Amino acid sequence: MKSHVREDLVTLPQDAPPWDRFFTVNPLVLVGTREGDGGYDLAPKHAAFPLGWGSFFGFVCTPRHNTYHNVRREGVFTISYPRPTQVVLASLAAAPREDDGSKPALGALGTFPAGEVDGLFVEDAYLYLECALDRVVDDFGENSLICGRILAAHIHQDYLRVSERDDGDLIHASPLLAYLSPGRYATVTESFSFPFPAGFMR
């Protein structure tokens, strides 16, 4: 039976995933893992998000990437949320590896060690998470969902919500980085209170 849609809608072909045909708003994070040779890797991910309202965090990866195998082997990973001023540094973390498997571009990223897990954070980010692997869910096509339990969270004091400060003023003074997939980014400085209906509960 043929489906009917409004004239202002374009039905995309099903022979390819739809995601490159429009923009979506996503975070951009840097996932830190320990390599098999004892070094460390940082990889940008935009399909990354809290898993529910508790202390769980997940990101999408693929077994084609070292990040996937590093997390499986080591059982831990770190998350750094970069600021808008760090978008070039975040891009460097996506630089291809050399023939020997190294990523020289990572040398341009200032880092410091995590406290609870064996991993690194990126200097001057605004939010940091230390995670233990909870589970890996494979077979989303070529991708997998890596789920972690948050062991520790750290936030720069300029980004911390406090009752004495308006949330809109906070975001204006301390902007957020948004990745507009595919291939663009934005700086978020303006925000508005969401009009939740009376009696709304999450």
Rounded to whole angstroms, the Cα distance separating 110 from 92 reads 12
CB 24 within 8 A of CB 183: no
- Spell out the domain ranges in the chain: 25-157
Instruction: Give the pLDDT band of residue 199 (cuts 50, 70, 90).
Output: confident
Residue 16: phi and psi, rounded to 5, are -155, 150
CB 188 within 8 A of CB 178: yes
Amino acid at 134: D
More confident of the two residues 23 and 93: 23
pLDDT of residue 1: 43
pLDDT of residue 4: 65
pLDDT digits (tens, 9 = 90+) for 84-116: 999 998 888 877 777 776 677 777 788 999 999
User: Is beta strand 143-155 parallel, antiparallel or unpaired with respect to 56-61?
Assistant: antiparallel
The mean pLDDT value for 140-155 works out to 98
Amino acid at 28: L
How is domain 25-157 classified at the CATH fold level?
Pnp Oxidase; Chain A (2.30.110)
